[in-house]
Amino acid sequence: MVQRICPYCRCKDSCGREAFAFRPYSYLGPTPTEVYTAVFEFCSRDRSVLDVDSSCLAQGLVSLGHLNSMPRLVDVGCAQELVREGERQQ
């Protein structure tokens, strides 16, 4: 058995939290970067994306083929906010 060192504390034992740190992100859906890229590309075609509820946008990104699996809503909301902030600065 491979012993993993916990990234959250300085113990050399397993405290239980380290199991989550080594899970591949692919099990959790698209990465935040993939979500941002999908929202940014979708927004370049349809500006109303920024005004849509994040849950509706997440479903739209999957159904229209921008993402392969359902993203986390917090990632979609953050991506919308980043695009909005980028537009405000221009």
**Domain definitions of the chain by residue range:** 1-28, 31-89
Whole-model pTM: value is 0.67
pLDDT > 70? residue 59: yes
Percentage of the chain modeled with pLDDT above 70: 69
Q: DSSP alpha helices (H): ranges in the chain? A: 18-21, 32-45, 54-63, 73-89
Question: Distance (Å, rounded) from C-alpha 58 to C-alpha 71?
Answer: 6
Task: Provide mean pLDDT across the span 61-71.
Answer: 92
**Phi, psi angles (nearest 5°) of residue 65:** 85, 10
Percentage of the chain modeled with pLDDT above 90: 50
Question: Distance (Å, rounded) from C-alpha 60 to C-alpha 57?
Answer: 5
Question: Distance (Å, rounded) from C-alpha 83 to C-alpha 36?
Answer: 8
Lookup result for tokens 């941002």: 36
pLDDT > 70? residue 87: yes
pLDDT > 70? residue 22: no
